[in-house]
């Protein structure tokens, strides 16, 4: 026997007669199948849910606050990251072999271009200079010259001014004069033809002597230049025994404008890799100092290729690092003309002034930058709390009379106080900022 529910349970569209008929079926013994039909009939007589739209309309008005849609001029930026590199980064090694005699600068020291960094024991190089100088002086003495003329001198004119050549030239001229004189006597029948023949032979000898003297002088001058080169090399090795900070190409231009003492082109010793008494060699090369110029830093970064038409040389950039709260200005100085096919990016270089020693940035620091590409006027913005996101859909609610209307939008740039929204929002829209959790499209609202 199956117990049936009380008739008072069914008060909507279903009457008790229907239930009574089902009871009679049970009494005729339809068993379990009829019981299932009973349950289905009862379900069909259950109350129907109310229309949600009707419910939303019938719900009490939601109290909300609104603000006008705000439009601002927005600077478009391309975000990049990278490492700050020095303006100049120089690794130094000695050009000659030697034992370190004195170390003049250490890590952290500031040095001007040309300042001495270290000195090698130069006694051997002093002796080499003396030997080369004596060899050159001996050759000049043999040529009866006090010094070797400069490289711009005409070689033939130089040969003609060598005393030995001048002497041979004078001998030839004298022999030629005597030949002319004797020929005149012979023609006047006052001289011997045999004497004329002797004088002609002497002139030939003088001419051959002059040619030979010139040839020997040219060879001697060539050897003298070689000896002069040997002396120059010995003197250069002696100078290289003192290692100095290099002079950048920009040094002369800066010095001409602001003076050598005021130019910002100063090195800082980033690393010293040598000690006094240590033996250093030029081959294999032994690195001894690392110098950096940090008055300007360079931020090198990779930019996605989709921004290739936006990033240009001369654009401003804002740089931020974890070590400082304030941002630093920069400017794009180089843009690579090619895209790397491996990662679909192109390289940019941003110069960052770093002259203020109180807040100086350190090379090697990781930095984030925003390249300012353009300014868009009239960009729609709303408070961050006015944006609702659910199930992948982002929307804002606007007040349309006493109703809330949902508008699907896309979110652009974000800031602490605003969010850029892109969508069909009316220019005069009133953006709902509170009560959003109780709102659906078409809900009744009451503006506080």
Contact assessment for residue 82 and residue 347, using Cβ atoms and an 8 Å cutoff: no
Each residue's pLDDT tens digit, 44-89: 444 444 344 444 455 789 999 999 999 999 889 999 999 999 999 9
One domain, residues 389 and 416: yes
User: How many structural domains compose the chain?
Assistant: 5
Contact assessment for residue 425 and residue 409, using Cβ atoms and an 8 Å cutoff: yes
One domain, residues 135 and 219: yes
Whether the upstream peptide bond of residue 284 has omega within 30° of 0, thus cis, is yes
Name the helix (H) or strand (E) containing 33: helix 31-44
Contact assessment for residue 346 and residue 338, using Cβ atoms and an 8 Å cutoff: yes
Q: What local confidence, expressed as pLDDT, does residue 224 receive?
A: 87
Q: What local confidence, expressed as pLDDT, does residue 14 receive?
A: 39
Task: Indicate the residue among 223, 240, 257 that finishes a domain.
Answer: 240
One domain, residues 150 and 197: yes
Specify the CATH number for the domain of residue 264. 2.40.50.100
pLDDT band (50, 70, 90) for residue 151: low
For 389-428, give one letter per residue: b (16+ CB within 10 A) or e. eeeeebbbbbbeeebbbbbebebeeeeeebbbbeeebeee
Residue 336 clears pLDDT 50, i.e. is over it: yes
One domain, residues 273 and 404: no
One domain, residues 248 and 111: yes
Q: What local confidence, expressed as pLDDT, does residue 58 receive?
A: 59
Q: What local confidence, expressed as pLDDT, does residue 222 receive?
A: 83
List of E strands, 174-315? 242-244, 267-272, 279-280, 287-304
One domain, residues 180 and 232: yes
Each residue's pLDDT tens digit, 230-253: 999 999 999 999 999 999 888 888
Dihedral sign, CA of 189, 193, 195, 198?
positive
Residue 141 clears pLDDT 90, i.e. is over it: no
Specify which residues 83 forms β-bridges with: 300, 366
One domain, residues 114 and 130: no
One domain, residues 230 and 142: yes
Residue 43 corresponds to which tokens in the numbers above? 């379900």
Specify the CATH number for the domain of residue 338. 2.40.30.170
Mean pLDDT across the chain, nearest whole number? 84
pLDDT band (50, 70, 90) for residue 146: confident
Specify the CATH number for the domain of residue 419. 2.40.420.20
One domain, residues 131 and 232: yes
Q: Among 66, 77, 72, which residue's Cα sits nearest to residue 419?
A: 72
Each residue's pLDDT tens digit, 163-191: 888 888 899 898 898 888 888 888 777 66
Residue labelled with tokens 């959003």 = 436
Dihedral sign, CA of 351, 354, 355, 356?
positive
Contacts of 289 (CB under 8 A, 6+ apart): 91, 92, 105, 117, 118, 243, 269, 271, 272, 273, 274
Task: Indicate the residue among 339, 365, 391 that finishes a domain.
Answer: 365
Each residue's pLDDT tens digit, 77-106: 999 999 999 999 999 999 999 999 999 999
223 within some domain: yes
- Please give the backbone phi and psi of residue 26, each rounded to the nearest 5 degrees, phi first: -65, -40
Task: Tell which wins on pLDDT, 60 or 386.
Answer: 386
Q: Among 25, 47, 46, 48, which residue's Cα sits nearest to residue 4?
A: 25
pTM (predicted TM-score): 0.64
227 within some domain: yes
322 within some domain: yes
76 within some domain: no
- Please give the backbone phi and psi of residue 445, each rounded to the nearest 5 degrees, phi first: -125, 160
One domain, residues 98 and 172: no
Q: What local confidence, expressed as pLDDT, does residue 263 receive?
A: 81
Q: What local confidence, expressed as pLDDT, does residue 34 receive?
A: 37
Residue labelled with tokens 């082109």 = 265
Q: What local confidence, expressed as pLDDT, does residue 357 receive?
A: 66
Q: What local confidence, expressed as pLDDT, does residue 117 receive?
A: 96
271 within some domain: yes
Residue 38 clears pLDDT 70, i.e. is over it: no
101 within some domain: yes
Write the DSSP assignment of 203-239 as a string of letters: HHHHHHHHHHHHHHHHHHHHHHHHHHHHHHHHHHHHH
- Residue range 18-28: mean pLDDT, rounded: 38
**What is the span of the domain harbouring residue 249?**
88-119+242-290
One domain, residues 139 and 285: no
Q: What local confidence, expressed as pLDDT, does residue 41 receive?
A: 39
176 within some domain: yes
One domain, residues 233 and 246: no
303 within some domain: yes
Q: What local confidence, expressed as pLDDT, does residue 116 receive?
A: 96
């Amino acid at each position: 026997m199956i117990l049936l529910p009380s008739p008072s349970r069914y008060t909507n569209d279903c009457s008790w007669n229907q239930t009574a008929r089902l009871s009679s079926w049970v009494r005729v013994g339809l068993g379990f199948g009829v019981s299932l039909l009973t349950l289905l009939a009862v379900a069909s007589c259950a109350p129907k849910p109310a229309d949600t739209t009707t419910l939303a309309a019938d719900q009490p008005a939601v109290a909300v606050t609104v603000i006008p849609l705000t439009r601002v001029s927005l600077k478009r930026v391309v975000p990049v990251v990278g490492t700050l590199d020095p303006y100049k980064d120089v690794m130094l090694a000695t050009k000659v072999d030697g034992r370190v005699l004195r170390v003049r600068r250490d890590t952290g020291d500031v040095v001007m271009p040309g300042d001495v960094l270290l000195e090698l024991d130069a006694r051997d190089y002093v002796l080499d200079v003396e030997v080369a100088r004596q060899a050159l002086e001996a050759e000049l003495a043999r040529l009866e010259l006090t010094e070797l003329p400069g490289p711009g001198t005409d070689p033939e004119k130089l040969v003609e001014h060598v005393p030995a050549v001048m002497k041979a030239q004078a001998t030839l001229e004298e022999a030629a004069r005597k030949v002319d004189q004797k020929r005149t006597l012979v023609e006047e029948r006052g001289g011997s033809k045999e004497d004329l023949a002797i004088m002609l032979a002497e002139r030939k000898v003088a001419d051959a002597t002059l040619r030979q003297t010139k040839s020997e002088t040219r060879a001697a001058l060539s050897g003298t230049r070689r000896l002069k080169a040997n002396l120059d090399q010995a003197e250069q090795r002696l100078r290289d025994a003192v290692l100095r900070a290099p002079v950048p190409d920009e040094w002369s231009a800066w010095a001409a404008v602001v003076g050598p003492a005021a130019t910002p082109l100063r090195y800082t010793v980033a690393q010293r890799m040598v000690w006094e008494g240590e033996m250093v060699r030029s081959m294999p090369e032994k690195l001894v100092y690392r110098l950096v110029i940090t008055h300007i830093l360079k931020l090198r970064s990779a930019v996605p290729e989709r921004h290739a038409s936006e990033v240009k040389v001369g654009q401003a950039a804002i740089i931020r690092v974890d070590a400082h709260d304030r941002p630093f200005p920069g400017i794009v100085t180089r843009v690579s003309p090619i895209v790397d096919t491996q990662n679909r990016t192109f390289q940019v270089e941003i110069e960052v002034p770093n002259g203020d020693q109180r807040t100086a940035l350190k090379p090697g620091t990781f930095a984030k930058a925003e390249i300012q590409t353009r300014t868009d006027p009239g960009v729609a913005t709303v408070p961050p709390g006015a944006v609702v996101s659910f199930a992948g859909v982002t929307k804002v609610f606007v007040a349309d009379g006493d109703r809330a209307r949902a508008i699907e939008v896309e979110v652009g740039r974000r800031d602490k106080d605003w969010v850029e929204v892109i969508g069909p929002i009316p220019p005069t829209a009133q953006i709902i900022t509170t009560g959003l959790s109780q709102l659906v499209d078409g809900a009744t609202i009451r503006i506080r």
